[in-house]
């Protein structure tokens, strides 16, 4: 039986100094007021061009990111690989609007796919559609009844061509590809793009994966609808299932604009739908491939139980567990140690460009009830375990 309290396995990759450094960092992130101040101070410092890049690179960037380039990530890829944990290279640059920048991001994602083809420790590639398409265009195109201008039609066709180029590269390299979920006000158009790519490239197996944020109350039904569409279209849907990372923003916008919130009424509802989604996919695993992106211990154990009940081999490539780099090592390392497929999201990119991602991670850690307390208590337990082990020698 997997135990997430086994800190010896969870922190096997960390030296005593690493452990102490992580403890200090998480102690800071666990203070909401400090995270809010840090967000303001960082944005202000970049705006007036203060030389803070080095400090960020040595602290929060070092913990949650692999480096500024693919080459910078090689050490982290190898470190994780030693413990049977794969790397998902995530080029975390977003919010660009110029065609040149959007094309550059497309090319970087294709380069990460090529890296995955050449490295057994990289089981997936990933991208955000907002990295290769303007957000204002996606928001307008989200409603099929909205008429786009001729220029917008051309820009949307260009965006679709970038998506297709990335998916084609993944298909030819045989590297499965996640298309990440985003804000609800342009998720519908992202779903339509992703479904079109799955119908095109997933005829033999899942190559392209859609991402479902189960904190949305409509996603369980959407999952079932995806299954039916795949059966009708004779393709294999890939699903990455997460809880979600934009809850506060979603609720605020819904209240401001006067429409019903797409977010579940409470965490229990999210947990319920997440686990029901796991059950549904495993029940129909002959047509699905799954990546369970979760930092939730109960859902991770639930998936282990479902696989055992269904007789699915631990190393069946259709089922993966995934967590973010720098978080929930007690899940990643213990599940991998037990022989299951596990991968870590490893974001990379220029420090300034990756700041929106890093600030979301810091905010997420403070908003998830008990997240920092759990991380810190495990680190304290491991420090005590090591101290006791040394005293016996």
CA–CA gap between residue 50 and residue 204 (Å, rounded): 52
CA–CA gap between residue 304 and residue 184 (Å, rounded): 30
Strand partners, 87: 344
Residue 388, phi-psi category: left (phi > 0), alpha (psi -120 to 50), beta (remainder): alpha
Nearest CA among 186, 179, 144 for reference residue 164: 179
Tens of pLDDT along the chain (393 residues) come to 899 999 999 999 999 999 998 888 888 766 654 455 455 456 545 565 666 577 778 778 888 899 999 999 999 999 999 999 999 999 988 778 899 999 999 999 999 999 999 999 999 999 999 999 999 999 999 999 999 999 999 999 999 999 999 999 999 999 999 999 999 999 999 999 999 999 999 999 999 999 999 999 999 999 999 999 999 999 999 999 999 877 888 999 999 999 999 999 999 999 999 999 999 999 999 999 999 999 999 999 999 999 999 999 999 999 999 999 988 999 999 999 999 999 999 999 998 888 777 776 666 655 555 566 888 899 999 999 999 988 876
Residue 290, judged by CB atoms within 10 A of its CB (0-12, 13-18, 19+), counts as buried
Burial string for 343-369 (b: 16+ CB within 10 Å, else e) reads bbbbbbbebebbbebbbebbbbbbebe
Nearest CA among 287, 307, 288, 311 for reference residue 299: 307
Q: Residue 53's pLDDT is what?
A: 72
Q: Residue 182's pLDDT is what?
A: 94
Q: Residue 263's pLDDT is what?
A: 95
Nearest CA among 7, 126, 61 for reference residue 378: 7
CA–CA gap between residue 47 and residue 199 (Å, rounded): 44
- CATH of 67-358, picked from 3.40.1260.10, 3.30.70.2190, 3.20.20.220, 3.40.50.720, is 3.20.20.220
Q: Residue 33's pLDDT is what?
A: 47
Q: Residue 49's pLDDT is what?
A: 61
Name residues whose C-beta falls within 8 Å of residue 21's C-beta, 6 or more positions apart in sequence: none
Backbone angles phi, psi at 284, to 5 degrees: -115, 35
Query: Any idea which residue has 């497309």 for tokens?
Result: 106
What is the separation of C-alpha 211 from the centre of its chain, rounded to a whole number of angstroms? 9
Q: Residue 92's pLDDT is what?
A: 87
């Amino acid at each position: 039986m997997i135990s997430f309290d086994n800190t010896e396995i969870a922190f096997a990759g960390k030296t005593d100094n690493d452990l102490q450094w992580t403890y200090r960092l998480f102690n800071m992130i666990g203070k909401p007021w400090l995270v809010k101040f840090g967000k303001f101070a960082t944005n202000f410092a970049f705006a007036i061009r203060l030389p803070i890049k080095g400090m960020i690179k040595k602290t929060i960037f070092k913990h949650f990111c692999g480096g500024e380039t693919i080459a910078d990530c090689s050490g982290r890829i190898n470190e994780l690989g030693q413990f049977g944990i794969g790397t998902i290279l995530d080029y975390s640059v977003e919010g660009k609007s110029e065609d040149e920048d959007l094309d550059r991001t497309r090319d970087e994602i294709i380069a990460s796919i090529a890296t995955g083809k050449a490295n057994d420790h990289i089981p997936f590639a990933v991208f955000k559609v907002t990295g290769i398409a303007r957000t204002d265009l996606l928001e307008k195109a989200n409603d099929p009844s909205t008429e786009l201008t001729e220029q917008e039609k051309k820009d949307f066709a260009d965006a679709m061509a970038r998506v297709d180029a990335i998916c084609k590269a993944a298909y030819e390299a045989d590297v499965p590809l996640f298309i990440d979920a985003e804000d609800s006000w342009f998720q519908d158009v992202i779903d339509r793009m992703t479904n079109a790519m799955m119908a095109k490239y997933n005829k033999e197996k899942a190559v392209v994966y859609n991402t479902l944020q189960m904190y949305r109350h409509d996603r369980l039904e959407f999952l079932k609808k995806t299954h039916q569409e795949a059966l009708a279209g004779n393709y294999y849907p890939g699903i990455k299932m997460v809880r979600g990372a934009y809850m506060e923003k979603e609720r605020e916008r819904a209240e401001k604009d006067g429409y019903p919130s797409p977010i579940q009424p409470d965490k229990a509802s999210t947990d319920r739908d997440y686990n029901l989604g796991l059950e549904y996919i495993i029940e129909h695993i002959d047509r699905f491939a799954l990546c369970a992106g979760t930092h939730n211990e109960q859902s991770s154990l639930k998936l282990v139980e479902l696989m055992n009940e269904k007789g699915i081999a631990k190393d069946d490539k259709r089922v993966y567990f995934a967590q973010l780099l720098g978080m929930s090592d007690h899940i990643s390392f213990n599940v991998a140690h037990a022989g299951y497929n596990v991968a870590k999201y490893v974001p990379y990119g220029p420090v300034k460009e990756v700041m929106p991602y890093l600030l979301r991670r810091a905010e997420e850690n403070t908003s998830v009830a008990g997240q920092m307390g759990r991380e810190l208590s495990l680190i304290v337990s491991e420090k005590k375990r090591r101290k006791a082990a040394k005293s016996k020698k």
